[in-house]
Amino acid sequence: MSKTLLLRCGKAIIASGAITLMLFSTQTKASGFNASNLVSNVDFVDIGGMSTGGIQDFLNSRNSCLKNFSEGGRSAASIIYDAAHGHGDASGSFGGITINTSTGTVNPEVLLVTLQKEQSLITDPGRCTESVLRKAMGYGCPDSGGCSSKYAGFTKQMEWGAWQLRYNYERSSGHGYSNYQVGQSFCFDDWNGQHCGRFDNRATAALYRYTPHVYNGNYNFWNLFHNTYQFQRPAYSHRYTSQNGDPTLRTGQSYKFTLRVKNTGTSTWRRGRVNLATSKGHDRISGFLREGDGPSGWISPNRIKFTQSTVAPNAYATYEFYMEVPRGMPPGQYREYFQLVADGVGWMEDYGIYWNITVPSQYSYQYISQNSNPTLRKGRSYKFTLRVKNTGQSTWRRNKVRLGTSRDHDRISSFLREGGNPSGWISGNRIQLKESSVAPNAYGTFEFYMKVPNNMSAGSYREYFQVVADGVGWLQDYGIYWQIRVR
């Protein structure tokens, strides 16, 4: 989508939320206000700042009239979330800047604050009228007066407003533009006439281009964001991003565990200070060995360092570490929990990060593949082929691990156990491995023939099989079968 019109939005006092906003003008300014640095770049563009559920919970907690509002089959929370992630009219290109679902727009928290700043839609349970919602973000409502019908309606306001804020952010650092650039000086109106300063960061330049006023404008944004709603980020905070899969490990086998997280705080992380630690409970010692193929990643029995030397705010940290199954560990599934900690500061958010580690039995297998279901005439034979993986800890021997008839175990099939040569059968209910031995983590093959007897009635027959370690027991039942059609 190509954007063809950019509008700088009007002064907040013009919006119909003016009564709420005017109240600020009779109060003392909150301490800590810096007109040149309204919010950090990290906070401004953190599109993952709130989930749809988090937005809904926020609206519920404030008794906002938007908590039960919907448009086009979507709740207000979904519309806000989608706008933050570049959907609909929140996506488009203009002046060499492209914003879409890959980039997203701005933090949903920024959008919520703007809704309050412009129209008091967070605190006033009676504000969700058509006349208010049609200009919810104040988008397309310039100082000169009037609001464009092109951008009317809650969804359009959210999407266009979100796009404009992100566009302002991108253009604030070059792209051939000469105004609203980081480092430039500004002078805007305030309570006392005019306030002059400098755009210290991109987020601040973006907000002033959206609303070119200090007081009853961007002071209100700052106060709502940092004080009323306390959206500002702590020094040490993170968000879970991804991890690798759950392993199945035999005795003596190791595995490299990988976790990726995002630094959503305001402080740069240093290796050895922000660590991944064992949790549930904190600082426990795992039953797995902290060794592997190396480097192990561990710096103590309960601490793991990240791979980078430093991780700046809004950047990603990667933790890589090895654990090994000790000899004598009983078979079963073990859940190993971890949590980030800033040593000397405290534990960070607990996302319940864990891996399920399966330690298999001596005899265990995984179904891999089989050949297709046959259609056979009377007197005809067919070679059946099954491939499985040895996921246990013991090497399979041809005289020990076999394929047996099942559903019921050791039943005798109505099909003849003859056909090609060799037949694969060693008894009325056992088929031997093709290989003489199958080591752990290797693949085994069963090949066998069955033949349709001349007196078998036409129809469809289902033949079930299951791997068995004779003298030990039946292994996992994957419901392996062939559907044999006799005609």
Q: With 60 as the cut, is the pLDDT of residue 17 above it? A: no
Contact between residue 257 and residue 320 where contact means Cβ atoms under 8 Å apart: yes
Residue 134: name the closest of 3, 19, 16 by CA: 16
Contact between residue 163 and residue 108 where contact means Cβ atoms under 8 Å apart: no
- Write down the pLDDT at residue 18: 29
Residue 216: name the closest of 39, 23, 36 by CA: 23
Domains of the chain are 12-228 (no CATH), 238-359 (2.60.40.10), 365-486 (2.60.40.10)
For strands 97-99 and 195-198, give the pairing: unpaired
Q: With 70 as the cut, is the pLDDT of residue 396 above it? A: yes
Q: Which segment of 24-33, 81-90, 235-244, 446-455 scores lowest on mean pLDDT?
A: 24-33
Measured in whole angstroms, the distance separating CA 256 from the mean position of its chain's CA atoms is 21
For strands 480-486 and 375-376, give the pairing: parallel
Q: With 50 as the cut, is the pLDDT of residue 10 above it? A: no
Cis peptide before 189 (omega within 30 of 0): no
- d(CA 334, CA 330) in angstroms, rounded, equals 10
Quote the pTM value.
0.58
Total residues found in the chain within this entry? 487
Where does residue 140 fall: left (phi above 0), alpha (psi -120 to 50 degrees), or beta otherwise?
left
- Write down the pLDDT at residue 217: 86
Digit-coded pLDDT (tens) for 282-310: 999 999 998 766 578 999 999 999 999 99
- Write down the pLDDT at residue 22: 33
Work out the percent of the chain whose per-residue pLDDT is above 90.
Answer: 76
Contact between residue 364 and residue 381 where contact means Cβ atoms under 8 Å apart: no
Digit-coded pLDDT (tens) for 18-43: 223 333 343 456 778 999 999 988 88
Q: With 90 as the cut, is the pLDDT of residue 314 above it? A: no
pLDDT bucket at 68, cuts 50 / 70 / 90 = very high
Contact between residue 66 and residue 75 where contact means Cβ atoms under 8 Å apart: no
**DSSP E strand stretches across 59-104:** 70-71, 74-75, 92-94, 97-99
Digit-coded pLDDT (tens) for 423-432: 899 999 999 9
- Write down the pLDDT at residue 189: 82
* Mean pLDDT within 410-422: 86
Q: Where are the alpha helices (DSSP H) in 5-62?
A: 18-22, 41-44, 52-61
Residue 232 to residues 164, 211, 372, 406, Cα–Cα distance (Å): 22, 20, 60, 62
Digit-coded pLDDT (tens) for 195-233: 899 999 999 999 999 999 998 789 999 999 999 998 877
Q: With 50 as the cut, is the pLDDT of residue 13 above it? A: no
- Write down the pLDDT at residue 16: 27
